[in-house]
Structures are given as C-alpha cells and as structure tokens.
Structure 1
Amino acid sequence: MGTAGERTPRRARFRGRIAGLGTTSGVRIVVGRWDSSPFGAFADVMLERPDGHRVLYAPTDEVGAFIADTYVFDEIRTVPVRADTHHGTWAVEAGDLAVAFTSGRRLPLGWLLRAVPGPVAASPAWAGAVDPVARRAMRGVSTRGQARSGRREWYGATDLHAVTRLAGSLSERPLGDLAPVEPPTRFGFSSTPPTPSVTTVVTTVEVLGA
C-alpha cells in the first residue's frame, strides 16, 4: 500500500509489430501495428523528416495522447491510420503519407530471438538483461529506458525480418528508395535497428497512476 501522495505504477502492454524504415529522401518512418493493447487493435505512425521535424499520426485522440505522453513529437495529427498486411507486404496510409513495403527473410538476430521462450522474451526482466547487448550490437537501439512523464518502457522482441523494398510518398513527394534508418530516430530513448526491418515485439509501458 502506497503512502499518501505516492502514485502507484501500472503497466500497459502492446503486442504487435514495429517496422523501422529509412528512405533515400531522408524521411525515417516507424509503423506500429498492434494486435492487442489497452486501446484494442490499432496502427500508428511516427515520422521524422530530414530537417528533424517529428510527426505522430494517431488514429484517435486517446491513442495520440498516450503515445505523446511516452515519446516526443513536434506535431501530432489525429487521422485514420491504415496498416494492412498480406503475405509480407504492408500498405500504410496516414494523412499525407502513403507507403508500401515488403518484409522478407528472417535476419540472424531473428533466429536467436525465436530461440528464447516467448514469455521470457516478452518480460521486462529479460529486456533489461539484454539491453547492454542490444546497445553494443545495434547503433541507437535500447530495450529499456526512461520515457516521458516519468514512465519507464521495455521492448521484448521475439522476431526480426528484413525489409527488402519500399515505395511511397509524403505530401505527394516520392520518398525514394529504401535506405538505412540513419541517423537514428529521436522519438524516445531508442531508435529502431539501422537495417530496415520488421520486429515482432511486446512493448511494456509503466505508467504512474493516481
């Protein structure tokens, strides 16, 4: 039982996939496609332009408020967000962004992740334990850290596939070809892997309650 004035933390879990994409235009994109969450199933997009301007595309005000309390953006847009998948091909539409990309082979790290039992890989304790390895292995990547609003966050990855091709536009301007996610995105304490990829993940966010 907490003392008077002390806020009790609660944990919110998001299960799904995160796609991290770089483009030759300099636009970097992170697509979240969540199969289960406190908000049900939904998709969101975080986008960083070459000039560093960071935009969140969220499907509802409620989802947008939660994400904006966890990550940092210069602009938040509440728009319909569609992230359809079919045989490894994703079709994403959100406001002025339209992008299609294909995920292909499982990367070597993906095979290692699949070897870890699912409940272990998804746990915050495991994410904390492997964080030093993730930091050394992939520039800009961390599996645990401090988020906004006093929140803490853990990424429990269970699979990893390479993205092999991409096409799309932002404000009707071509995004160009697929490229590394460089420089790392600046939405929070961690970027996606520098190699464009789709990560199957359980994200745990610890929120301070009333």
Structure 2
Amino acid sequence: MTRSVFDGDISGLGTSTGTRIVVGHWTSSPLGDFTDVMVEFADGERLLLAPSDAVREFVTATYRFDTTTITGVSYHRRGDSVSVSAGDLEVSFRIGGPTLLGRLLSVAPTAVVTSPWFCTISDPIARVALRGVRTKGTAGGGRREYYGAHGQHHITATTASWKGDDLGPLSDVDPPVRFGFGSTPRTPSTTLIRTTIDER
C-alpha cells in the first residue's frame, strides 16, 4: 500500500451570486508546497485552478470537474487576512475566531484526530452534524481518502471576483459543492487538516 499525506488547510466559502470557492493550501505534501482552488459556479460548472500539470493530474484523479486550468496560484496571509489570486479569480477573506468544532479539536491530540482510524469512526457523526461533510470516502482508482481536521476557524468576510466581475458578499456554501465524495462545511470556515490517501 502507498500512502500520501497532505498537511495544510482548506477554506470553503460561498458568495451571494451562488458561487462556492474552496481553497486548498498545502504546506507539506508529496507535490511540495502548493495552493489549488476549486470553484463551483451558480450554474453548476465545476472548475479546478491548478498551479502545475502534476497537481492537476493528482487532483483530477480524485475529484470531478467540468473544466481545469493551469495557472499561477498565489496565497498570501498576513495576520487574519488571506488573499488568493488564481488566473481570472481573485479572492480575499478574513479569518475569525474558532468554531465550536475548532474549540473541541484544539484540546484533542493531533495525531489521534488526523489518523485514518479516527476519520473512519467519526465519518457517521460528521455526516449528521455537518451537512455534506465526510471524513472518509473513495478517492477513485481503488484509493481511500481520509480528512483529519485538527482546527477550524470562521471566515467572517470576503471579497471575490471572476474575470473582473464582483461575486458578491460572503454567503454559506449552499448547496454543497460536488467535486468529490464530500463538501466543506455549510458555514464559511478554514479548517486545519491532514489528508491521507491510501492506494493499493
């Protein structure tokens, strides 16, 4: 079995025009340090903005998109403010205080809550407590994927534009995004996460 581990954070947010944006910022992974962005527009089109062919190949083997684009993706954080630029997409957001889940996770050992066995037993709870969220699922090609969260904070505000058009103020991630077997939480948030993918 081959195991790939990605450490970083996932930020999920919606806008009033119906666009939902998921930013994956990975500080440690088999592909190095990188950021990718998944967008689902109001009409249901699913777009991947990836910084390299290697990232696109890996992500599209796991998730489903209608369109993929290779483009420079920049991620900058200063204090609680994050700005992301990815081709025709510009998005900035502010990170607030911890969510209730984030407070609970902060007192749990990271090695436990990010482990595949814990993700397996917590998946039924996540399905009920957080609509659309999964902590375990299939990643395609006989692979299994586990999402182990070890922190979570609210996103309190955003500005976003696509091809220069304003996407509107912050809104819930509703309906859930349809890239893979699960969505980000409905309430906009940034989740510290370890993603583990097992392949036989």
TM-score for both structures, normalised by structure 2: 0.98
Q: Does 1:94 align with 2:86?
A: yes
Of the three residues 70, 94, 104, the one matched with 2:96 is 104
Aligned pairs (5 A) from 1:197-208? 197-208=189-200
Hey, what does 1:33 align to over in structure 2?
25
Larger displacement relative to structure 2 (88-97 or 143-152): 143-152
Hey, what does 2:113 align to over in structure 1?
121
Q: Flag the structure with larger Rg.
A: 1
Indicate if the aligned counterparts of 1:72 and 1:148 stay in contact, CA closer than 8 A. Answer: no
SS in 2 for 1:147: strand
Aligned pairs (5 A) from 1:166-181? 166-181=158-173
Mapped partners of 1:124, 1:115: distance in 2: 19
Indicate if the aligned counterparts of 1:105 and 1:161 stay in contact, CA closer than 8 A. Answer: yes
Hey, what does 1:136 align to over in structure 2?
128
Identity of aligned residues (%): 47
Mapped partners of 1:157, 1:171: distance in 2: 33
User: For this pair of structures, how many residues does the alignment match?
Assistant: 200
Mapped partners of 1:149, 1:101: distance in 2: 35
How big is the shift at 1:114? 1.4
Q: Runs of 5+ in structure 1 lacking a partner?
A: 1-8
How big is the shift at 1:206? 1.6
How big is the shift at 1:144? 0.3
Hey, what does 2:61 align to over in structure 1?
69
CA RMSD of aligned residues (A): 0.8
Mapped partners of 1:196, 1:57: distance in 2: 20
SS in 2 for 1:120: helix
Residue type matched to 1:171 in 2?
K
How big is the shift at 1:150? 2.2
Hey, what does 1:84 align to over in structure 2?
76
Hey, what does 2:3 align to over in structure 1?
11
Mapped partners of 2:56, 2:31: distance in 1: 11
Hey, what does 1:184 align to over in structure 2?
176
How big is the shift at 1:11? 1.1
